[in-house]
Amino acid sequence: MDSGVPAVSAHGSGFIAVWADDAVDAIRFATRGDGAPNTLAWTPGADLLSAAGTNTFQPRVVAVPSGNAVALWLRGTNPWAVESALRDLEDPVAGALDVPAAAVAGEPVAMSMPGTDAWSGVQNVLFSFGDLTGAIGTPTFHAWAMPGTYPVTATVTDRAGRQASRTQPIVISAPPAPPVVTPPPADPVPAPPPPPPAPIAATPPAAPPLIPSPRALTVGAARLTVPGRLTRTSLRTAKCVNVRARALRPATVTVRVFSGIRSLRLFGQARARFTRPATRVLCIAVPARARTFAPRTRLVIRVETALGVRLAVTGATVSRREVTVPLTG
């Protein structure tokens, strides 16, 4: 069955062999002595390193004591192509998790964690903020809505699917109350005549809504409420542009805000994972450059939703929609 001469490489107390199998016209492999033959071994899985019927020959293999290995072979006729497969049995290395020890509710916090993998490379770094939300990529930003102690977990995943994590708590406190100013006592004066009836105090204006000029938006499995209009004055004083998201089923919702006059650049973004139907307010942090926005600056809110809560799923169906928000004085 096997017409090719095997290429063999030792690793510790075991070895790895690869050879060309003319019966299926593909490259096969076998491992011995590492305690886990043919498991977690090669990207294609099973005991085939290449697709059947692809005219493969002249395999080579190099292994290291840990059992990791790289196999190479030729494919095709003329011209030939070189193909390879990687055997990665080691977890990636999670670097130092940089999370502040404390922060204030409603204020964005910067966090980061580097990840490395010498064999298969890093696929992504996933953050979980302990409040049922998360984000992909490092560095990242997040604002907690309520005081409390939250475990921040960062997980690095390599291209072989192996993972390493670090966790660090962060204490979120309530914003400080404004100071109470007591006026100085008045100088003693003679008793005044009875004052006229006091006028009826004017009713204080209602507090502005969380989302100004709310506008409804349906994107895939989510129902969102976005601002229908914003002012430059509010952007100079507010910490967030808020968007309310209601997921009808488990889904990932991503909201990005772009700004600009002639061209658009990223203003800020927020992402939330819903493991069940729920409603959540997403905070898109206002950047410092918003203080200098001109009256003609455009704001564009772009919303994307994907079914499921695993953010790294390949080929997930994504629904997308965007709206332009007027920016007044």
Domain boundary among 53, 87, 121: 87
Does some domain include residue 287?
yes
Helical (H) or strand (E) element with 237: helix 232-237
My answer on whether 317 and 232 are in the same domain is yes
Other CB atoms within 10 A of residue 50 CB: 25
Does some domain include residue 266?
yes
Contact (CB, 8 A) for 25 and 53: yes
Does some domain include residue 69?
yes
- DSSP readout, 119-180? TT-EEEEEEE-SSS-EEESSSEEE--SS-EEEEEEEEEEETTS-EEEEEEEEEEEPPPPPPP
Q: pLDDT tens string for the chain (329 positions)? A: 345 677 777 776 676 777 777 777 776 777 776 554 444 445 444 577 777 777 786 787 777 776 677 778 787 777 778 887 777 778 899 999 999 999 999 999 999 999 998 877 898 999 999 999 999 999 999 999 999 999 999 999 998 888 999 999 999 999 988 888 888 887 777 777 888 776 665 555 554 457 888 999 999 889 999 998 888 888 888 889 999 999 999 999 999 999 988 888 899 999 999 999 999 999 999 998 888 888 888 899 998 999 876 654 445 678 999 999 888 87
Query: Residue 306: what residue type?
Result: A
Q: b or e along 160-196 (b: 16 or more beta carbons within 10 Å of the residue's beta carbon)?
A: bebebebebebebeeeeeeeeeeeeeeeeeeeeeeee
CATH code, domain with 115 = 2.60.40.10
Does some domain include residue 118?
yes
My answer on whether 79 and 38 are in the same domain is yes
pLDDT score for 312 = 43
Sequence-distant (6+) residues with CB within 8 A of 288 are none
My answer on whether 100 and 77 are in the same domain is no
Please name the residue that has the structure tokens 């509710």.
105
Does some domain include residue 192?
no
Does some domain include residue 189?
no
Domain boundary among 173, 198, 227: 173
My answer on whether 314 and 221 are in the same domain is yes
My answer on whether 101 and 45 are in the same domain is no
Does some domain include residue 209?
no
Closest CA to 285 of 247, 318, 323, 259: 259
My answer on whether 244 and 278 are in the same domain is yes
Contact (CB, 8 A) for 307 and 316: yes
Domain boundary among 173, 197, 226: 173
- What's the token pair of residue 300? 């564009």
My answer on whether 120 and 43 are in the same domain is no
CATH code, domain with 307 = 2.60.40.3930
Does some domain include residue 179?
no
My answer on whether 78 and 109 are in the same domain is no
Computed on alpha carbons and rounded to an integer, the radius of gyration of the chain in Å comes to 30
Sequence-distant (6+) residues with CB within 8 A of 241 are 227, 230, 235, 257, 267, 268, 283, 284, 286
Sequence-distant (6+) residues with CB within 8 A of 318 are 220, 304, 305, 306
My answer on whether 76 and 127 are in the same domain is no
My answer on whether 76 and 101 are in the same domain is no
Sequence-distant (6+) residues with CB within 8 A of 173 are 102, 103, 104, 105, 147
Contact (CB, 8 A) for 225 and 242: no
My answer on whether 236 and 292 are in the same domain is yes
My answer on whether 40 and 17 are in the same domain is yes
Q: Which domain holds residue 122?
A: 93-173
Total domain count, the chain: 3
